[in-house]
């Protein structure tokens, strides 16, 4: 854990110049985002999160430095968890002129706990003078419903949007939510998202490497 702490300090010291292309900025986001933007994982537990994601070179497909992408979920014992309250997706979004990139985060809270979808699970953030600023409504069109499920693609600057569907559990434990059909895509272009019609009704899985914009 001491080694992770040293690495964290070095990464955060260079946060203003870290580039998305080499994956450094992904670590900056993981280590420094406020808890409420990263499924409530305490800052003190981020080292454990990175250790679990980096147990061996290229061994964990939940973390992709080359594409600036992360999908965190855990099926292990709760004692081994870094303390997340839901699974989440994180995607680094490039900006013009080489400025500090944006960070897209979606936390699947309804899927995790069956709570009603709210506007507290999807954000776009930018680090300015060592502080994270919420720029969600500056870059996502106002008409987009932020209570939807948003899934950033691994290998393209595209976020797929779908509804959370409520259903009755067959085990008698009441209702829950699942991911519904894909409604539209948000395509990142010149520092903003544009709404595009989706060519498929299914959400893409995590292993979409190699699919470009032509595969929408």
The H or E element spanning position 31 is: helix 24-32
Q: Token digits for 206? A: 């995590």
Q: Residue 51 has what pLDDT?
A: 85
pLDDT digits (tens, 9 = 90+) for 81-94: 799 999 999 999 98
Q: Residue 92 has what pLDDT?
A: 96
CA nearest to 164, candidates 121, 208, 215: 121
Q: Mapped to the 3 state alphabet, what secondary structure does 182-203 carry?
A: EEEEEEEECCEEEEEECCCCCC
Kindly give the parts of the chain with pLDDT less than 50.
Answer: 1-7, 9-22, 209-216
| 46-53 and 24-32 helices, crossing angle to 10° | 140
Q: Residue 214 has what pLDDT?
A: 38
């Amino acid at each position: 854990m001491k080694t992770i702490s040293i690495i964290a300090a070095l990464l955060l010291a260079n946060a203003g110049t870290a580039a998305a292309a080499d994956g450094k900025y992904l670590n900056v986001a993981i280590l420094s985002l406020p808890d409420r933007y990263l499924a409530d994982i305490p800052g003190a537990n981020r080292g454990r999160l990175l250790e679990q994601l980096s147990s061996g070179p290229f061994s964990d497909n939940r973390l992709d430095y080359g594409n600036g992408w992360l999908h965190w979920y855990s099926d292990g014992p709760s004692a081994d968890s870094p303390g997340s309250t839901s699974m989440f997706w994180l995607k680094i979004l490039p900006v013009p002129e080489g400025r500090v990139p944006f960070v897209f985060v979606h936390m699947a809270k309804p899927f995790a706990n069956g709570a009603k979808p709210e506007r507290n699970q999807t954000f776009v953030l930018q680090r300015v003078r060592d502080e994270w600023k919420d720029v969600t409504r500056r870059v996502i069109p106002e008409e987009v419903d932020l209570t939807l499920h948003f899934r950033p693609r691994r290998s393209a600057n595209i976020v797929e949007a779908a509804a959370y569907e409520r259903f009755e559990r067959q085990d008698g434990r009441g209702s829950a939510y699942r991911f519904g059909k894909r409604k539209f895509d948000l395509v990142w272009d010149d520092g903003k998202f544009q709404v595009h019609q989706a060519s498929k009704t299914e959400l893409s899985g995590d292993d979409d490497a190699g699919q470009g914009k032509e595969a929408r």
